Chain A
Amino acid sequence: MNELLAARSLTTLPVVTLGGEAVAQVKDTVFDAAAGRITGFTLSGRGLLSGPLKQSLPWSAVHALGPHAVMIRDALALQDTSVVVARREAQQGRVLHAKVLTDEGAEVGTVLDVIVEGGASGRVVGFRIAAGKALVQGSRRRRHRVYVPRGETLAVSGRALVIPADAIRYVADDLPAFASRVGAFRAGREGTAS
């Protein structure tokens, strides 16, 4: 499986052509309505004083998403922002701070960040959440931030998202641990389906 990346960490990532030229940097990551995958990126110019660009990057033009750069084939891949952002029904801003509920009706926390898979898939694999008391017992003074995997069937509205109840058995405290939990979660799901 590819490396996992937090969507917030993608901001300021350089957009680099396979020819080695940096053409822009990521401003924001745009997701589809079901928060299932990345549909593109809005861009800003590179450097301290450059503002947002009129052009954006649709996911179809991305060669690969990595921890140090978004690779694209060439600069012609950039499109007018309206093409990418027209599909902005549930962009990151609407998933962030949404309540996370299990399909059994328990509230487990609120979304802090979206975790995506690196590479060419653009798939959302889970969320970083501020855990509620139901999920993590212990000191109330410590604010718990954990990662939960996304179920195959995930319901999202602007205010809440619903994950399968068994997903909370696969929470992790950091990204490397989460990567292996996601693998186990998927394997477990496939096991019950067959």
Chain B
Amino acid sequence: MMLFSEARGLPVLTLAEAEEVGALRSLTVDAVSGVVTHVRVRGRHSRKETVLAWGALHAVGPDAVLVRTTAEPAEVPPHHELPGLRILTETGDTLGTVQDVAFEPETGRVEAVVTAHGDLPADQLLGLGNYALVVRAA
């Protein structure tokens, strides 16, 4: 189990050349399937942001992320930054904001969304958009 806050800032290196691509900037989540689909990497020098599909990653470890390829995927879904986003239930009530997200570094599966009111299991997530993360009412 790993938190988004722990993954952020990890150095991203290529597996074959051990060349540093940059630092992990953010993770893009698909709320419906409950998995991390893409990661965003910011270059150390160029400050350019690169999008990598989860499938391009070789390993997400405690100290570094290793990638097989730095080629950008053809189609990039819109990114919604989860930490800090407001949470709404499907009944139109608010549950505060996302504080952190717990995920499995091996598979990218989201385990829980951490909020001030406790953890929300991933199977409660209904949708993620620019305004809110929508969850099933408990």
Contacts and interface: CB of A to CB of B under 8 A. Distances in A.
A18 B90 contact: yes
Interface of A: 3, 14, 16-22, 63-71, 118-119
A24 to B, nearest CB: 11
Interface of B: 31, 80, 88-94, 126-134
A66 B129 contact: no
Contacts of A63: 90
B127 A17 contact: yes
A63 B137 CA distance: 12
Contacts, number: 68
7 contacts: A16-B129, A20-B31, A20-B127, A20-B131, A22-B131, A66-B91, A71-B134
Given A16-B134, A20-B132, A66 B92 contact: yes
Contacts of A21: 129-131
Contacts of B127: 17-20
A64 B91 CA distance: 5
Contacts of B134: 16-20, 71
B94 A68 contact: yes
A17 B129 contact: yes
A69 B92 contact: yes
Nearest to B126: A18
Contact of A64 (B92, B128, B133): B92
A90 B37 CA distance: 50
Nearest to B130: A21
